[in-house]
Amino acid sequence: MAARQKEDTAALSRQLINDALAGVFKPVYVLMGDEPYYPELVCQAIIDNCIDEFGKDFNETICYGADVTPEQVVTAARRYPMMADRQLVVVKEAQMMKGSDEIAVYLDAPLDSTVLVLLLRGASLDKRKALYKAAQKVGAVLDSPALRDYEMPAWISRYYQEHGLNIDPEAAALFAESVGTELSTIAVETDKLLKNLPEGAKDVSIADIEKNVGISRQFSIFELTKELSFRHSGRALKIAAHLGTAARFNMPQAVSALYMHFYRILKYSVLVSRGGQVSPDEKASALAGVNPYFYREYDTAVRNYPLPKAQAVISLLCEYDFLAKGGDGGAATPDELLIELVAKILSV
């Protein structure tokens, strides 16, 4: 359900942007959600295309939720445009406006000549209240949920495809580890990368990501999970030692990434433990979010961590999640905890 919603968010965002480019607008837009990338993208497309440059002084009002009341927004929305077919009223950071539900009264009979945009940053309207319901009825509501760490490589791959590029699956995974889950950061870093690619280049490699984004594949969580999958003890411990002393190292995030990796191995191990052939659909379900490019790694991992061992690793990760978040870890530093955790995983 969540994955479907995120795909719908991207599709609706593209549709609303294309409509704006074509000069087609709805009476009201509510752009909201924990991930601000799509709402801000749509909002900017509306601002860029709704009112021409000549008419912006007279027919464009951009304000901020902390500075206006619902009554002022309604009054602005009920004005008629000057020497134009429409006017634009944008309330940015609308989550800061007190009593915003009062705007619902305007949506009972919105003016055809007004385009009203409510942009909420990192927040959403209460879906039980009148404003949300009225906006859904007469306008467009874009709800943009935050993406999880494990969803980022697939999102990056789709983003690059939409821009006519092919990114190596390993490069996408490394990129995701470097920039986290903020989509706007990925867009900015991608723009920088594109300027440094040879003219006409369509393929993005790990070397491109390492060079232009500033992360080394050699010492990354992505590489650590891979070495653990293959039980390359020396290499895994070396990476853990390097990672733990990095300036931006975060032990809870590292444990979270390892947990997701071994949770997939666990799910796959359950299928394998039943005996018989694992169907492609069953495999895809167990390895949800994993690019098929990496299936071979998981085929090896499931042999190295059959069900009892996978369960033991999950138990270890739960224990170290507690320690990483301030549990009774004694005098151990985060880098020492990571090395200790990796050593214990390898000894399972």
Chain CA centroid to CA 100, Å: 27
Mean pLDDT of the chain: 89
User: What's the pLDDT at 247?
Assistant: 74
Measured from the Cβ of residue 310, the count of other Cβ atoms closer than 10 Å reads 25
Dist CA 98 CA 159 (whole Å)? 36
What is the rounded CA–CA span in Å between residue 3 and residue 291? Answer: 15
Q: Give the mean model confidence (pLDDT) for residues 63-80.
A: 96
Angle in degrees, CA 42, 183, 288, rounded to 5 = 115
Q: Quick count: other Cβ atoms within 10 Å of Cβ 21?
A: 11
pTM summary value: 0.71
pLDDT band at 7 (very low <50, low <70, confident <90, very high): low
User: How many other C-beta atoms are found inside a 10 Å radius of the C-beta of residue 336?
Assistant: 14
CA separation, residue 218 to residues 134, 152, 204, 322 (Å): 53, 20, 18, 28
DSSP-derived secondary structure letter, 53:
G
Cβ contact 144:33 at 8 Å: yes
Helix (H) or strand (E) holding 209: helix 206-213
What DSSP state is assigned to residue 54? Answer: G
- Can you read off the two tokens belonging to residue 231? 């039980």
Q: How far apart are the C-alpha atoms of 218 and 305, rounded to whole Å?
A: 24
| Domain architecture of the chain: domains with CATH | 2-143 (3.40.50.300), 149-215 (1.10.8.60), 219-347 (1.20.272.10)
20, 45 Cβ separation under 8 angstroms = yes
- The whole-number pLDDT of residue 36 equals 92
Q: Which of 29, 25, 75 is nearest to 49 (CA)?
A: 25
pLDDT at position 2 = 47
Q: What percent of the chain has pLDDT over 90?
A: 57
Phi, psi (5° rounding) for residue 152? -65, -45
Predicted local confidence at residue 217, as pLDDT: 66
pLDDT at 212: 76
- Per-residue pLDDT of 138-167, as tens digits, reads 999 999 998 888 888 889 998 888 888 899
d(CA 45, CA 18): 9
Cα 74 to Cα 105: distance, rounded to the nearest angstrom = 8
Q: What are the tens digits of pLDDT across the range 161-193?
A: 888 889 999 888 888 877 778 888 888 888 888
Q: What are phi and psi of 60, to 5 degrees?
A: -125, 125
- Give me the long-range contacts of 222-225 (CB less than 8 A, separation at least 24): 222/170, 222/173, 222/174, 222/177, 224/258, 224/342, 225/257, 225/258, 225/261
Give me the long-range contacts of 249-252 (CB less than 8 A, separation at least 24).
249/334, 249/335, 249/338, 251/324, 251/334, 251/337, 251/338, 252/321, 252/324, 252/325
pLDDT mean over 52-77? 95
